[in-house]
C-alpha cells in the first residue's frame, strides 16, 4: 500500500494515515482572485483567507483536498459516513475475510448514559466495570468464533459477516475537500460528539494544520473558538446591560419576555454567559 505522509494510532486497533494533499493556502487565494482576474489587486493571503472564512465564501476552500486511509470500529464508521460530502472506498466483507479485531473499553471503562442528552454519555463510569468488560470481550470473541465456523462450513462471506459485532474494525480510503473537512471537524471535535470519533477527528486536525496554516488560524478564530448567539440570547444580554438581570432570574426573563427558550437552550446560554464572564 502507498506509504503515508503521517500516521496516528487511534483507539486499540485503529489509525489515521494522511496519504495525499492537493493545494495550500496559496491555492485557495489564487482560486478566489480569479474572480476579478487582476494581479494588481493581489492582497495579503492571510487577510484574504480570514475575510473569506468569516464571510462564508466557501467555494475557494474546496480547491484543497486531503486523502486519508482510516481504520475504525464499525459503529464509529456509521457516524462518520453521515458526512456525505466525502469520497470513500471501504473494505468489503463480501470479498474479504475480516480479521479478528474489535474495539473494547478495557482501557477507559464504560461511560454512563447521559441524563440530559439521549444520544450522549457522561464522564462518570459504570460501577462493577470488570465484570461487564469481560462479558463484552467474551461476546465479541463469540461473534468471531461463529463467523469463522460459518466460513469453514462453506457459508458465504456476505452472510457470515452479518453476525459480527458492531465493534468490529473496518477501514477505508477517505477523501474530502478542505471546506467540508473543517465542517466535519467542527462537529466531531465538539465536546458533545462521541469520545471515540473525537479521537479520530483530533488526529486528522493535527495532521492537516501544517498544510494550510492561515486557514487553520481563521477556522480557530471564527469557528472553533467562537460562539453563536441566538436572537433570544442577544435580547437577554441587552436586558442584562439594562439592569433587568439583577431583578429577575434568567428563567423568569425567559418566561416574562416570551423568548421560548427550552431548558437545554437556557443551560447552553448560561455556559456562554460564564465564558463571557457575565
* Residues identified as active-site: 188
Cα–Cα distances in angstroms (integers) from residue 1 to residues 17, 69, 161, in the given order: 12, 10, 25
Contact status, residue 58 vs residue 16, Cβ threshold 8 Å: no
Contact status, residue 73 vs residue 11, Cβ threshold 8 Å: yes
- Residue listed under C-alpha cell 461511560: 111
Amino acid at each position: 500500500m502507498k506509504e503515508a505522509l503521517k500516521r496516528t494510532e487511534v483507539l486499540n486497533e485503529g489509525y489515521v494515515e494522511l496519504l495525499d494533499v492537493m493545494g495550500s493556502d496559496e491555492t485557495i487565494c489564487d482560486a478566489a482572485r480569479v474572480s476579478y482576474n487582476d494581479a494588481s489587486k493581489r492582497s495579503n493571503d492571510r487577510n484574504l483567507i480570514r475575510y473569506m472564512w468569516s464571510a462564508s465564501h466557501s467555494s475557494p476552500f474546496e480547491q484543497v483536498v486531503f486523502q486519508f486511509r482510516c481504520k475504525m470500529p464499525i459503529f464509529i464508521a456509521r457516524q462518520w459516513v453521515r458526512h456525505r460530502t466525502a469520497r470513500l472506498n471501504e473494505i468489503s466483507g463480501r470479498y474479504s475475510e475480516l480479521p479478528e479485531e474489535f474495539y473494547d473499553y478495557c482501557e477507559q471503562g464504560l461511560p454512563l448514559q447521559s441524563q440530559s442528552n439521549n444520544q450522549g454519555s457522561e464522564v462518570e463510569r459504570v460501577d462493577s466495570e470488570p465484570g461487564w468488560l469481560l462479558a463484552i470481550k467474551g461476546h465479541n470473541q463469540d461473534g468471531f468464533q461463529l463467523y469463522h465456523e460459518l466460513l469453514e462450513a462453506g457459508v458465504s462471506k456476505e452472510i457470515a459477516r452479518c453476525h459480527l459485532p458492531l465493534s468490529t474494525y473496518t477501514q477505508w480510503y477517505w477523501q474530502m475537500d478542505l471546506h467540508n473537512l473543517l465542517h466535519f471537524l467542527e462537529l466531531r471535535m465538539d465536546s458533545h460528539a462521541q469520545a471515540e470519533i473525537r479521537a479520530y477527528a483530533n488526529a486528522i486536525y493535527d495532521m492537516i494544520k501544517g498544510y494550510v496554516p492561515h486557514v487553520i488560524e481563521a477556522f480557530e478564530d471564527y469557528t472553533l473558538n467562537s460562539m453563536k448567539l441566538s436572537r433570544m440570547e442577544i435580547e437577554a444580554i441587552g436586558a442584562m446591560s439594562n439592569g433587568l438581570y439583577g431583578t429577575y432570574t434568567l428563567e423568569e426573563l425567559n418566561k416574562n419576555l416570551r423568548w421560548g427558550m427550552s431548558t437545554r437552550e437556557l443551560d447552553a446560554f448560561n455556559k456562554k454567559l460564564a465564558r463571557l464572564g457575565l
